[in-house]
Amino acid sequence: MSSTDAQPSEPWDEAQCKAALAQLETLQQQLDNLRLTVHRMTKPLSKPPTDKPLLFSQYKQAAVGSQNSLRAFRAQWLGEDVQSLFRYSRESAQANPDLNASSQLPRYGWKRRADASHGSAGAKQSGENGSLSSDAITNNDDMGRAIEAIRQEDPHVKVQTADDNRDITISFMAETTFLKFHITLKRDANGQDKLKAECLRPTTLSDDITRSIETRERPHDFRYLLDMILAYKTIEGKTCAKCGKAADQRGHLPTARRAKGITTDEEKTLAWKAFHRGCLD
């Protein structure tokens, strides 16, 4: 049968179209990330080589990470899901070449909507505590993009990675206090990935922050954990969002951070607030 005699695919419903747009947006994000490949590989060479073993380690990490990103993009591009999307697009364009209606659609935000939809479904299945299942941990490629986004958005936030993004250190100045966080992704005896994070430096403040992180609502959500850590830089903890006081009965500051969902224009975002640990009960 010739290509002109091929039968067109069954029309996609709205959910399939939205999923396809989210997939295309993911590919676009991967391409944007790949544009930084040369910068990432040459960055370790921009400083005097005072520590050659460290220089080699940083260069190797950048090279391996870039290679993995290229492989991941190629695998997804050549995958059947993407190729079937392209085939359907060609068939649709042949059947109706008028694309005026598509110009009214937003160019971005499809992946965020898809993630929010999946997150809502996962939250309903996980119970009233709001925790997500273990599959909320994104793959290495998604984790790398989230980390790179932090680096691009705020140069004052220092992010160091090792072990293929399974060992991460984040540091920054929060008002007048220097904070340093350590994140690890390890596999337990049951084969499940576990996210652990702590605020380094043995002080009362760091201990309180670590306990706040350990009791976070979404223990398996990597992006949620990153947002929570960054909330210690972006949200001033001068007063508690619940009691309105600067210090609690023990004299402790609002060292906990919690997010509340806010829905605007059909999109749900998280607004972070500062709390005393005792006010979370």
Of 172, 200, 171, 197, nearest in space to 184 by CA: 197
**Picking from 87-91, 93-97, 99-103, 206-210, which range would have the lowest pLDDT averaged per residue?**
99-103
pLDDT for residue 211: 92
pLDDT band at 196 (very low <50, low <70, confident <90, very high): very high
For 35-79, where are the alpha helices, taking DSSP H only?
Answer: 37-42, 52-78
Instruction: Pick 29 or 231 by higher pLDDT.
Output: 231
Neighbours of 192 (CB within 10 A): 13
Phi and psi angles of residue 174, each rounded to the nearest 5 degrees, phi first: -105, 100
For residue range 164-194, list pLDDT tens digits in order.
Answer: 888 999 999 987 889 999 999 887 777 677 8
Strand, coil or helix: 272: strand
Total-model pTM? 0.53
Out of 3-7, 53-57, 83-87, the most confident range is: 83-87
pLDDT for residue 252: 84
Distance of alpha carbon 157 from alpha carbon 159, whole angstroms: 6
Which residue reads 């999307």 in tokens?
A: 85
pLDDT for residue 198: 94
Distance of alpha carbon 186 from alpha carbon 216, whole angstroms: 18
Q: Span 251-265, mean pLDDT?
A: 76
In sequence order, the β-bridge partners of residue 173 are 178
pLDDT band at 124 (very low <50, low <70, confident <90, very high): very low
Domain ranges, ordered by start, for the chain: 11-108, 163-280
Of 10, 221, 29, nearest in space to 95 by CA: 10
Whether 213 shows a pLDDT value over 90: the answer reads: yes
Q: Span 89-103, mean pLDDT?
A: 84
pLDDT for residue 137: 62
Percentage with pLDDT > 90 across the chain = 17
Distance of alpha carbon 241 from alpha carbon 232, whole angstroms: 14
pLDDT for residue 171: 94
Distance of alpha carbon 179 from alpha carbon 170, whole angstroms: 8
**Picking from 65-69, 92-96, 165-169, 260-264, which range would have the lowest pLDDT averaged per residue?**
260-264
Strand intervals (E) in 20-174: 158-162, 167-174
Within 8 A by CB and 6+ apart from 95, the residues are 8
For residue range 12-61, list pLDDT tens digits in order.
Answer: 888 888 888 888 888 887 787 788 788 878 888 877 777 788 888 888 88
